[in-house]
């Protein structure tokens, strides 16, 4: 994947799925429809910042709570490409891989970043750079990287099914 560069929005610890996308909006699975409600409980200022930040930086246990897949797709709809966090909840981490959002575990980078810092993420080499300072992270294993590169699980499986039917 090509490296990603952009400014970040800083969020804290334990950002739960109800803060990311409240349950009342789960009647949609359309990324564009979900996007205006991403992080709504955190207020309009945060939402304003979200719209111009392709990268979110957060503390521990990001995405804790529900299995709702819209927690990752609402962020993708809002233009977010990667979340760099000290740690992730399990289901959010899975959903990220399966919907094509980069979830990068790097407590050091999360600590170093401040609001508006410019980050560069290279998922192939496992490097995240914060205002010019590089930190390494463990890249996805190859079998999961293939899913992310395909844009998520559904496009990945769809391509596999096409290959099988052509074989």
**Binding map of other proteins across residues 98-117, x = CB under 8 A, - = no contact:** xx------------------
**For residue 30, which phi and psi values (nearest 5 degrees)?**
-85, 120
Tell me whether residue 10 or residue 145 sits nearer to other proteins (CB atom). Answer: 145
Plot region of 116 (φ>0 → left; ψ -120 to 50 → alpha; else → beta): left
Shortest distance in whole angstroms from residue 120 CB to other proteins: 27
Q: What is the dihedral of CA 90, 95, 100, 103, to 10 degrees?
A: -20
Binding segment (CB under 8 A) for other proteins, from list 11-19, 75-83, 113-121, 124-132 = 11-19
162 forms part of the interface with other proteins (CB under 8 A): yes
**Binding map of other proteins across residues 17-46, x = CB under 8 A, - = no contact:** xxx--xxx-xx-x----------xx-----
Q: Which two tokens stand for residue 46?
A: 């945060």
Ranges within 74-93 binding other proteins (CB under 8 A) = 87-91, 93
Helix (H, G, I), strand (E, B) or coil at 122: strand
The angle at the Cα of 22, spanning 47 to 66, to the nearest 5 degrees, equals 120
Q: Which two tokens stand for residue 53?
A: 């930040």
Ranges within 122-161 binding other proteins (CB under 8 A) = 141, 143-144, 147, 152-155, 157-158, 160-161
Binding segment (CB under 8 A) for other proteins, from list 4-12, 13-21, 46-54, 118-126 = 13-21
Q: Rounded to whole angstroms, how far apart are CA atoms 68 and 95?
A: 8
Tell which residue, 113, 75, 72, has the closest CA to residue 92.
Answer: 72
Query: Which residues contact other proteins (rule: CB under 8 A)?
Result: 14, 16-19, 22-24, 26-27, 29, 40-41, 60-61, 64-69, 72, 87-91, 93-95, 98-99, 141, 143-144, 147, 152-155, 157-158, 160-162
């Amino acid at each position: 994947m090509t490296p990603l560069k952009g400014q970040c929005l800083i969020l804290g610890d334990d950002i739960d799925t109800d803060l990311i996308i409240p349950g009342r909006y789960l009647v949609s699975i359309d990324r564009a429809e979900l996007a205006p409600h991403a992080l709504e409980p955190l207020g309009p200022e945060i939402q304003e910042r979200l719209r111009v930040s392709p990268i979110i930086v957060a503390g521990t246990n990001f995405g804790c709570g529900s299995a709702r897949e819209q927690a990752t797709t609402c962020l993708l709809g809002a233009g977010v490409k990667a979340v760099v966090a000290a740690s992730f909840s399990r289901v959010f981490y899975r959903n990220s891989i399966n919907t094509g959002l980069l979830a990068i575990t790097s407590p050091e980078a999360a600590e170093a970043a401040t609001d508006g810092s410019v980050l560069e993420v290279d998922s192939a080499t496992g490097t995240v750079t914060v205002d010019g300072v590089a930190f390494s992270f463990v890249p996805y294993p190859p079998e999961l990287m293939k899913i992310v590169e395909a844009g998520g699980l559904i496009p990945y499986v769809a391509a596999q099914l096409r290959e099988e039917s052509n074989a």
